[in-house]
């Protein structure tokens, strides 16, 4: 099996039939031409589909007539690669699966169709997203606004790929096996999180925590009293308070004045890093930042600006950006205030939906105005005894995923440039 390389221009490894196609001018997809979704409409695929790798993202559609007269050349088919071409996440790539809705790309996307006689889909996915995109970024010109270069520039970009299709498949298998293990861990974590949330709801939403006889409290006739503030019944002896009564919300800092002076640093956790994990592009600060904004595995983070998300951090030590709260408590166990905050996010988002605006900017006042039902501390600790092992397993899986991703990202460029080879399967 040949492990040699062949040099091409980028235009040679794509399909001759519109292998490269940038989305239409924005004026061709104005809001006034969008129509409600129906049997014969076409979906407009947006950047979010690529960034979140989710084909269900997007709410705009165009009519069949408009598609036939002006948009048909921008149609998306299964196996097409879509690339984000503007904004902070330009260069992100996603291959469309078989079960997509009929649709077109918008102006922020590039569609790539490959010549599979020269390059396989999986090999290209890794080659592009972890290797070739760095060359493309270097071709973007002097603009301070992140943007992809014109298609005419991309076409003439020199690429060097393995000549053998079979060997390309072997390289892709090594890398995809690592990604498959990451995906298995993610699925396990999703199931564990659902299990933990179900148990929490059973105890603290349905109020069927074990009574003194070990039976479900409310279902077994436990005393419930009507609370005027919450406008509902709660177990006798439980209190009403707000989110600030159960946890401390420490905001991060603008970290510019803590720029590192040597290779001793902490990465800065911003909303993007909170969602996606650390990247080599994240900001860095000196380790002498205030302790109150230092983050460790197991800390609860709450992004309060623009994005409303709560998570248990597991990507190592860092320093907190000013758009995220670190949530702690000296009294209540972590599992309790984590799920209480997670539940209350739905209330914040409901307010945003009613106002038809982005909630964003959750302040201490919002937290103070919240109203929640607070169980006795001993019951919270009993539930935490059951939930803590689940949290620990999720954390362990996340940390394993981080190591697997680091191995993949270290191995990939070495496979692509031939420094490391794959032994032929017997």
pLDDT band at 140 (very low <50, low <70, confident <90, very high): very low
Domain 189-382: homologous superfamily in CATH: DNA methylase specificity domains (3.90.220.20)
* Secondary structure tally for the chain: helices H, strands E: 11, 22
| Residue whose C-alpha is closest to residue 245's, from 311, 329, 325 | 329
Q: Where are the beta strands (DSSP E) in 129-280?
A: 158-162, 224-227, 232-235, 239-241, 248-251, 266-269
pLDDT band at 338 (very low <50, low <70, confident <90, very high): very high
What are the structure tokens assigned to 254, written together?
A: 């603008």
Tokens 């109150």 correspond to what residue?
Answer: 292
Looking at the DSSP assignment, which residues form a beta bridge with residue 299?
none
- 301 pLDDT exceeds 60? yes
Stretch 343-357: mean pLDDT: 69
**Ranges of each domain in the chain:** 7-162, 189-382
- 386 pLDDT exceeds 90? yes
User: What pLDDT is stored for residue 323 in this prediction?
Assistant: 87
- 83 pLDDT exceeds 90? yes
Stretch 103-109: mean pLDDT: 95
Outline where 296-420 has alpha helix (H): 334-355, 364-369, 377-417
User: Rounded to whole angstroms, what are the CA distances from 365 to 346, 362, 371?
Assistant: 17, 8, 12
pLDDT band at 345 (very low <50, low <70, confident <90, very high): confident
User: What pLDDT is stored for residue 280 in this prediction?
Assistant: 58
d(CA 281, CA 186): 24
- Asked whether the beta carbons of 271 and 306 are under 8 A apart, the reply is yes
CATH of domain 7-162: 3.90.220.20
Stretch 356-369: mean pLDDT: 73
pTM for the structure as a whole: 0.83
CB-based burial of residue 312 (10 Å sphere; 0-12 exposed, 13-18 middle, 19+ buried)? middle
* Nearby residues of 393 by Cβ (< 8 Å), 6 or more positions away: 192
d(CA 183, CA 282): 24
Residue/partner pairs of 297-301 with CB below 8 Å, 24 or more apart: 297/395, 297/399, 298/334, 298/391, 298/395, 299/326, 299/327, 299/328, 300/326, 300/327, 300/328, 300/334, 300/337, 300/338, 300/341, 301/269, 301/274, 301/325, 301/326, 301/327
pLDDT band at 137 (very low <50, low <70, confident <90, very high): low
93-107, 132-146, 216-230, 293-307: range with lowest mean pLDDT: 132-146
Fold match flag (7-162 vs 189-382): yes
140 phi and psi, to 5 degrees?
Answer: -80, -10
User: What pLDDT is stored for residue 1 in this prediction?
Assistant: 60
What are the structure tokens assigned to 199, written together?
A: 């148990």
- 272 pLDDT exceeds 90? no
Tokens 């705009």 correspond to what residue?
Answer: 60
What are the structure tokens assigned to 387, written together?
A: 């939930």
d(CA 210, CA 340): 19
- 210 pLDDT exceeds 60? yes
| Residue whose C-alpha is closest to residue 266's, from 303, 294, 301 | 294
d(CA 5, CA 164): 8
């Amino acid at each position: 099996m040949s492990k040699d390389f062949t040099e091409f221009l980028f235009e040679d490894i794509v399909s001759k039939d519109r292998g490269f196609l940038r989305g239409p001018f924005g004026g061709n997809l104005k809001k006034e031409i969008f129509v409600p979704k129906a049997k014969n409409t076409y979906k407009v695929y947006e950047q979010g589909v690529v960034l979140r790798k989710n084909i269900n993202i997007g709410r705009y559609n165009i009519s069949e007539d408009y598609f036939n007269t002006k948009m048909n050349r921008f149609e998306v088919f299964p196996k097409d690669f879509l690339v984000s071409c503007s904004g902070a996440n330009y260069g992100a790539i996603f291959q469309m699966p078989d079960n997509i809705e009929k649709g077109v790309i918008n102006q922020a996307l590039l569609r790539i169709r490959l010549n599979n006689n020269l390059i396989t889909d999986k090999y290209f996915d890794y080659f592009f997203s972890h290797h070739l995109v760095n060359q493309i970024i270097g071709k973007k010109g002097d603009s301070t606004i992140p943007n992809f270069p014109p298609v005419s520039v991309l076409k003439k970009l020199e690429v060097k790929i393995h000549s053998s299709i079979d060997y390309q498949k072997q390289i892709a298998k090594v890398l995809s096996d690592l990604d498959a293990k990451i995906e298995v861990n993610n699925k396990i974590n999703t199931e564990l999180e659902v299990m933990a949330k179900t148990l929490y709801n059973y105890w603290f939403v349905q109020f069927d925590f074990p009574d003194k006889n070990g039976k479900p409290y409310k279902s077994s006739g436990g005393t419930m009293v009507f609370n005027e503030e919450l406008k509902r019944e709660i177990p006798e002896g439980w209190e009403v308070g707000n989110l600030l009564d159960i946890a401390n919300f420490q905001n991060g800092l603008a970290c510019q004045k803590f720029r590192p002076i040597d290779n001793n640093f902490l990465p800065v956790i911003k909303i993007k890093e909170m969602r996606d994990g650390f990247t080599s592009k994240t900001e860095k600060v000196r380790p002498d930042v205030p302790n109150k904004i230092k983050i460790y595995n197991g800390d609860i983070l709450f992004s309060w600006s623009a994005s409303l998300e709560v998570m248990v951090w597991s990507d190592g030590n860092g320093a907190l950006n000013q758009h995220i709260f670190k949530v702690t408590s000296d009294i209540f166990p972590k599992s309790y205030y984590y799920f209480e905050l997670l539940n209350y996010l739905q209330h914040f988002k409901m307010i945003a939906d009613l106002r038809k605006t982005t909630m964003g900017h959750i302040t201490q006042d919002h937290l103070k105005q919240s109203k929640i039902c607070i169980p006795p501390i001993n019951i919270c600790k009993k539930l935490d005894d059951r939930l803590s092992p689940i949290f620990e397993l999720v954390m362990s899986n996340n940390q394993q995923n981080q190591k697997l991703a680091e191995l993949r990202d270290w191995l990939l460029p070495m496979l692509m440039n031939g420094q490391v080879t794959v032994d032929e399967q017997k």
